[in-house]
Chains A and B, each alone.
Chain A
Amino acid sequence: DQQVKQNSPSLSVQEGRISILNCDYTNSMFDYFLWYKKYPAEGPTFLISISSIKDKNEDGRFTVFLNKSAKHLSLHIVPSQPGDSAVYFCAAFDSGGSNYKLTFGKGTLLTVNP
Chain B
Amino acid sequence: NAGVMQNPRHLVRRRGQEARLRCSPMKGHSHVYWYRQLPEEGLKFMVYLQKENIIDESGMPKERFSAEFPKEGPSILRIQQVVRGDSAAYFCASSMRDRGDYEQYFGPGTRLTVT
Known contacts A43-B4, A43-B109, A104 near B42 by CB under 8 Å = yes
Chain A residues lying within 8 Å of B56, measured Cβ to Cβ, are 98-101
Q: Mark A41-81, 1 if CB is under 8 A from B, else 0.
A: 11111100100000000000000000000000000000000
Q: Are A49 and B108 in contact, with the CB atoms below 8 A?
A: no
Chain B interface extent, by class: 20 to 34
Chain A residues lying within 8 Å of B63, measured Cβ to Cβ, are none
Question: Who on chain A is nearest to B55 by CB?
Answer: A100
| B residues apposed to A, CB below 8 Å | 4, 6, 31, 33, 35, 40-45, 48, 55-56, 58-59, 91, 93, 95, 99-100, 102-109, 111
| A residues apposed to B, CB below 8 Å | 4, 6, 32, 34, 36, 41-46, 49, 89, 91, 93, 95, 98-107
> What 4 additional pairs, Cβ within 8 angstroms, besides A99-B48, A101-B59?
A43-B4, A43-B107, A106-B40, A106-B41
